[in-house]
Structure 1
Amino acid sequence: MTSSDRKLMRIHNMSMRELVKRISAAGLKNDFIALPETEELWNRTPSELRGYLVRTLYERREPWRLRGAPAPRSDQNYFDHWLAGRDRDFPELRPGYKLPPDKSEEDDDGEDDAGPPPPGP
């Protein structure tokens, strides 16, 4: 077994917490997108959360947003934590998301709002 095989095996056996900690390390000299840890994180991420992962890692370049300490520390707890973060920070990534109604449509009562004020008493 070569050293690269051992490294890949070690990465495959890492917990979600360890993977996230590794790619969001402050002193990381390389781009975290190219890390094998990021690929492993992608492979473990459920399809409904991959858009959030892409937004967080690639577009925003903020892997620290994925951090959290859910207890007990399992993959499912991490994904539940990510769902809450996605719904709070990026609601447009939720499946079935609908745009909020336009304010101009809500206020359209057929009257001209730009007219002079009504006469006072």
Structure 2
Amino acid sequence: LNRMLHWIKNMGGLKAIEERNKVKAALIYDVIDESGGFYRGHAEKDARSRMNITFNLANEAMEKDFVEKAKAHDFIGVKGHRLVGGLRVSLYNAVTPEAAEALSQFMKEYERVNG
């Protein structure tokens, strides 16, 4: 707990962490929202999580391909929950804005190639 509190302080405090998480989530939600239905988000806009972003593609085969290609680009853990399916991006506090930006670029490229 002490390490985490020091990390939060070193990152600029809770407000800075909150702003950082808003930026990271916006990077991914913007890709989903601007995809014209290629990526299909689950949550209503006013109920979206900043930590776990869930979405689907057109079918399970495409989702499996997305997971494999994401892993090849060092994005791991994007497969959705085993009971729910789909895809899930987890943007926990330790995930950097740069990592979220890289994932958003991967998602745009995946849509460009497969859309």
TM-score (norm 2): 0.29
- Which structure has more RCO (C-alpha within 8 Å, separation ≥ 6)? 2
Q: Which entry has the higher C-alpha Rg, 1 or 2?
A: 1
Query: Which protein is richer in strand relative to its size?
Result: 2
TM-score (norm 1): 0.28
